[in-house]
Amino acid sequence: MKEDVHMPKVGMEPIRRSKIINSTLECICNFSLEKMSLDMVAKEAECSKGVVSYYFKNKDNLILEAFKAFLNYYKIKIDNQVKPEMTPSEMLKVVQENALPQYYNLSDDIEPKLNVSEGDGVDAMNIPPRKKAKLFVNFFSRAMVDENLQAVIRQVYNQDHKGIASIIYYGIKTGIFKEKDIYKAAYAIMSLYVGTSMLRVVGFKPEQIDDDVDIFWDSVNSMLSKK
């Protein structure tokens, strides 16, 4: 039987899938989500279009899986950096540092390739600031009209909410945070970093404000500081 040139080699699946996902995210950054095509992804991933289709069927499914990988990137980074010996405040600091995209210089046209795969270790995972912003805008714009992406966001945010609530509960049990409605506080913290993320993505920061992180922590400390 003649070998199918579109079929991946045995044992290559995790590597192939990761490379295709990374290539998809690169193509979205370079061409936009709507203009990105399977042909573009195949060229970036250095494989055939048939291999891309074999793993991800079609463009819509590829977008969905790339979005999941993009959001999961943050969870992996946070889970890797949060340590049991940390204080609740230090844990929330890890969440903030990963959840808020960095400001970037618009004149920086060249950025390194992104990597959302754990294959080479968590330390090798990276999404440059400008690409984070592009992916954020592309995916969340698409989510306004795509119920499948909305479902992914709800699932991820539900996990985030539970994670932050558990940190707050730990802070209350150890006497660091004041007693209050844990779930409302967790929701408020999520609202702060999601909202601040959008402002950072569009590059908005009033001249009167030196660092919006200070505003974030002023609000968090106001909610959680001891009586």
User: What pLDDT, in 10s, does the model give residues 161-202?
Assistant: 999 999 999 999 999 999 779 999 999 999 999 998 888 888
* Residue with token string 């209050």: 180
Q: Which domains does the chain have, with CATH numbers?
A: 64-224 (1.10.357.10)
Give the Cα separation of 226 and 215 in Å (integer). 19
CA 26 from chain centre, in angstroms, equals 14
Cβ contacts of residue 14 below 8 Å, gap of 6+? 119
pLDDT, residue 3, reads 39
Higher pLDDT, 41 or 208: 41
User: CA angle at residue 161 from 157 to 165, to 5 degrees?
Assistant: 170
Residue 93 CA to residue 95 CA, distance in Å, equals: 5
Mean pLDDT of 15-40: 97
The phi, psi pair for 128, rounded to 5°, reads -55, 150
pLDDT at 105: 61
* pLDDT surpassing 50 at residue 2: no
Lowest mean pLDDT among 23-37, 69-83, 136-150, 206-220: 206-220
Distance CA 227, CA 225 (A): 7
* pLDDT on residue 181: 92
Taking the C-alpha atoms of residue 133 and residue 129, their distance in angstroms, rounded to an integer, is 6
DSSP result, 56-106: H-SHHHHHHHHHHHHHHHHHHHHHHH--TTS-HHHHHHHHHHHHSPPP--T
Write the pLDDT tens digit of every residue in 124-169. Answer: 999 998 899 899 999 999 999 999 999 999 999 999 999 999 999 9
Burial of 156 (0-12, 13-18, 19+ CB in 10 A): middle
Q: Which residues contact 6 (CB under 8 A, 6 or more apart)?
A: 48, 50, 51, 53, 54
Q: Stretch 200-222: mean pLDDT, rounded?
A: 85
Two tokens at 58?
A: 């079609």
Looking at residue 208, its pLDDT comes to: 86
Q: What DSSP element (H or E) covers 191?
A: helix 182-201
pTM above 0.85, yes or no: yes
| 65-120 pLDDT, tens digit each | 999 999 999 999 999 999 999 999 999 999 999 988 777 665 556 789 999 999 99
Q: What is the pLDDT of residue 197?
A: 87
Is 211 in a helix, a strand, or coil?
coil
The pLDDT value recorded for residue 1 is 35
Asked whether the predicted pLDDT for residue 21 surpasses 90, the reply is: yes
AA letter at 126: N
